[in-house]
A and B are shown apart, each in its own frame.
Chain A
Amino acid sequence: MTTKTTKSPYWQGMAAGAPFVLVVVPFAVLFGVVATEAGLSLFETMVMTSLVVAGAAQFTAVQLLSEGAPTLIALVTALAVNLRMAMYSASLTPHLGSAPVRHRAVIAWLMVDQAYACGMLAYERNLAWSAAQKVSFYFGTVSLIVPLWCAATFAGAVVGEAIPPEFALDFAVPITFLAMMGPMLRTPAHMVAAVAAITVSLVLAFLPYSMGVLVGGLAGMIAGAEAERQMARRGAVI
């Protein structure tokens, strides 16, 4: 199977990643603003954003730290948000596992939702690609997204200090996260996971150190997996 276009995999990757700039840039600006509001310096914000490169986990960490949660709880909960990356890693392995280890290390550092989604789609459409071509495509997708992620965080951190409380930015993170839920709730099992997570998190909100969030998240994962198993057993289409 060959593609009709003559563009190299790198440029195809960049073209595939380009539309996601519209989602990534506002999210990064918001992180810059929220991090500054929480008291992080420009340097701290930029180190975090370029080292972690995972918006949802960064928001989670900053949110919990600013609520006074213990360091370990903030760290473990933010890592739980990133557990999905292990799944991405597993499903990219058949395509990229034979690349040199230094390439795999860079792929891992720059692994974001959009690069994973674009990569999996392209690899299924281009079965003849070599591992090197697949790596080029991957680097193409992240070469717009990640630099703009960092630049937009910087912009948000610089303007953040100037935003007065009347703008209710405290609620920007909940709205952004809730907005991501719609496209994520693809099946009844995903709904079950979300409802279970919300219920357990609210019921256990009295627990110290924001532990209800972590326990609620784990309960949601278990509920979603179990719902999927039950539906598969009954032969439902999921």
Chain B
Amino acid sequence: MTEISNAALWTVIIGLGAGSFLLRFSFLGLIGDRDLPYWVLRHLRYTGVAVIPALVAPLVVWPAATGGALDAPRLIAALVTVAVGLAFRNVIAAILAGGGSLYLGLYLLG
């Protein structure tokens, strides 16, 4: 982890605040009742399910806490979280299972 500079942080806070507002206000405020092209909607449907795994995958495979070395407790916890989330479609259950697996793994293997 590196120290975050004040300039970088405030640029991101203000830019993310303004940018998020514009994304949310976009059609509601500016475009009104016109329809979006279907192909745009089709891509927007997959943003969450694409960007979030892209962000998480390197954090799972090369965790910062181990200096980037593959870590069995963290990898197992990640797999358990996804499996429970898929099986029960319940976010809280998946978090509890993943957290439990992580602590158990760190205790047994760490």
Listed in ascending order, the chain A residues whose CB lies under 8 Å from chain B are: 22-23, 26, 38-40, 44, 47-48, 51-54, 56-58, 60-61, 63, 65-68, 71, 74-75, 77-90, 92-94, 96-97, 101, 104-105, 107-109, 111, 165, 168, 170-185, 189-190, 193-194, 196-198, 200-202, 205, 212-214, 216-225, 228-229
Set A80, A97, A172, A197: member contacting B53, Cβ < 8 A: A197
5 pairs from A and B in contact (CB 8 Å cutoff): A85-B23, A85-B24, A104-B25, A178-B94, A179-B84
Chain A CB within 10 A, most for which of B3, B21, B47, B102: B47
Q: How far is the CA of A177 from the CA of B65 in the complex (A)?
A: 18
Pair B52/A93 contact, Cβ less than 8 Å: no
**Distance (Å) between the CB of B88 and the closest chain A CB?**
7
Binding site for A on B (CB under 8 A): 1-4, 7-17, 19-21, 23-29, 31-33, 35-36, 39, 41-65, 74, 77-78, 81-82, 84-92, 94-95, 98-99, 102-103, 106
Does the CB pair A185–B49 fall under 8 Å?
A: yes
A residues less than 8 Å from B88 (CB atoms): 182
How many whole Å from A132's CB to the nearest CB in chain B?
16
